A = this chain, B = another copy of it.
Amino acid sequence: MTTRDHIIQTADQLIRAKGYNAFSFVDIANVVGIRKPSIHHYFPRKTDLGVAVIEYHIQQLQKIQKAFAVKCAVEKLDRFFLIYDDIKKHNKVCLVGSLTTDYNTLDVEVQDKLRYFSEVMLNWVTDFLEEGRCKKEFHFSEAPRTKALLIITNMIAIVQLSRVTEDKDFNLMKETIKKELLTN
């Protein structure tokens, strides 16, 4: 892995563990094993790093979309849940949840990139829900985009909320959502 990628992935972990305004270049330097000013060689401003972290997430999601394009809707749903399994396992929150709460403190470049990432995510879920209903894998009465919003908001917030309720509420949400999609 290149130093640049190591910085991006470390920033990503810190943003989702502590929040955008609670991580610093020193935190990253300590993990990557370089000095604070060296990070500016790759990312002149914190904003540049923030944008790069979101771009990394967009790339990862597009890889998943591509790899699962031929799979059935239930498999796509399971892959969607797997994203949050990983988040919950490491006691993080998702990038959209972390950055939307700090939204009013972000530079417009980060805001715009975040908007685009959210759009890609929402479109993907909307599409596989519609496909799943079309093929009788899923059953739901709402518009596919509305159902996608319901499910995505469940997942965004349960990784946050289960930090203070109970960890097992995470699996409870997942199982309830899946069961209801498969029933009827």
Contact = CB atoms under 8 A, between A and B. Distances in A.
A173 to B, nearest CB: 6
B103 A22 contact: no
22 contacts: A17-B104, A19-B19, A96-B161, A96-B164, A97-B101, A97-B157, A97-B160, A100-B163, A101-B101, A101-B160, A103-B160, A142-B176, A146-B176, A149-B172, A150-B173, A153-B153, A153-B155, A153-B157, A154-B154, A154-B157, A156-B161, A157-B160
Contacts of A165: 115, 118-119, 122, 149
A117 B156 CA distance: 19
A39 interface: no
Interface of A: 17-19, 21-22, 91, 93, 96-98, 100-105, 111, 114-115, 118-119, 122, 142, 146, 149-150, 152-158, 160-161, 163-165, 169, 172-173, 176
B100 A161 contact: yes
A161 B172 contact: no
Contacts of A111: 164
Contacts of A142: 176
B160 A100 contact: yes
Contacts of A161: 96, 100, 118, 149, 152-153, 156
Contact of A96 (B22, B96, B104, B160): B160
Contacts of A22: 21, 102, 105
Contacts of A150: 154, 173, 176
A51 to B, nearest CB: 14
A62 to B, nearest CB: 18
Which has the most chain B C-beta neighbours within 10 Å: A102, A111, A122, A173? A102
Which has the most chain B C-beta neighbours within 10 Å: A22, A93, A115? A22
